[in-house]
Amino acid sequence: MPPNFESQSYWHDRYSTEAAFEWLIDSSTFMRILEPFLDRLDHSARLLHLGCGTSDLHNHLRDRGYSNVTNVDYERLALKRGEELEQSNFGDVNLKYVLADATQLQLGERYDLVIDKCTADAISCGAEDAVLRMAQSIRKHLTPGGCWISMSYSSSRFDIAELPFAAEAFATIPVPKERETDPDVFYWCYLLQP
């Protein structure tokens, strides 16, 4: 049986021992993809990082000058790991860590840029309409002009009727091959605009 990526208990068990892990691509590579979007935002911009897990992306965003970064996960241990990673890199904790379900956000704030790396993928393993609910939830939390960037393993992640966004795959990242004869496989980075 494949792992239950949509299940909170799967992530709880995993983060009981896992202190740091990057899904799909490392944060430096992701930052290069995000750069044209970050370049348009000043350092006071509000960033929402959904399903932060044990990634160090938040440290890269803080390094890049952003202090208003809200990291969300529905597993408390992920938030603890995130705080620990920030503390060990900067010697203090300045960013926000919020326990919330990305399919039913009620954060009381709006964001200029929402980022997820492989979180929509994990959510897609659950109920059929779970990514749609995530999208509807994000839509309500965007500032005018705000957008969502999602890194995914799927070339059809946002082929969803009623999606409240125009989705465009603007970057592809070749998945490293184990053998030269392996087929070309890509990760997909989407820009989602209301």
Ligand X SMILES: C[S@@+](CC[C@H](N)C(=O)[O-])C[C@H]1O[C@@H](n2cnc3c(N)ncnc32)[C@H](O)[C@@H]1O
Q: Where do contacts with ligand X occur on this chain (CB under 6 A)?
A: 11, 21-23, 51-53, 55, 72-75, 78, 101-103, 117-119, 122-123
CB of 107 to ligand X, least distance (A): 12
HSE-CB at 116 with a 13 A cutoff on CA atoms is 25
Q: Name which of 72 and 167 has its Cβ closer to ligand X.
A: 72
Q: Considering the complex, what minimum distance in angstroms separates the CB of residue 41 from ligand X?
A: 20
Q: How far is the CB of 96 from ligand X (least distance, A)?
A: 15
**Do the beta carbons of residue 78 and residue 84 sit within 8 Å?**
no
In this complex, which beta carbon is closest to ligand X, that of residue 91 or of residue 108? 108
What's the rounded Cα separation, in Å, for the pair 95 and 160? 33
Q: Could you give the 3-state DSSP secondary structure of residue 69?
A: strand
Residue 72 near residue 144, CB atoms below 8 Å: no
Element (DSSP H or E) covering residue 16? helix 8-17
Q: In the bound complex, what is the minimum distance in angstroms from residue 31's beta carbon to ligand X?
A: 13
Nearer to ligand X by Cβ, of 46 and 81: the residue is: 81
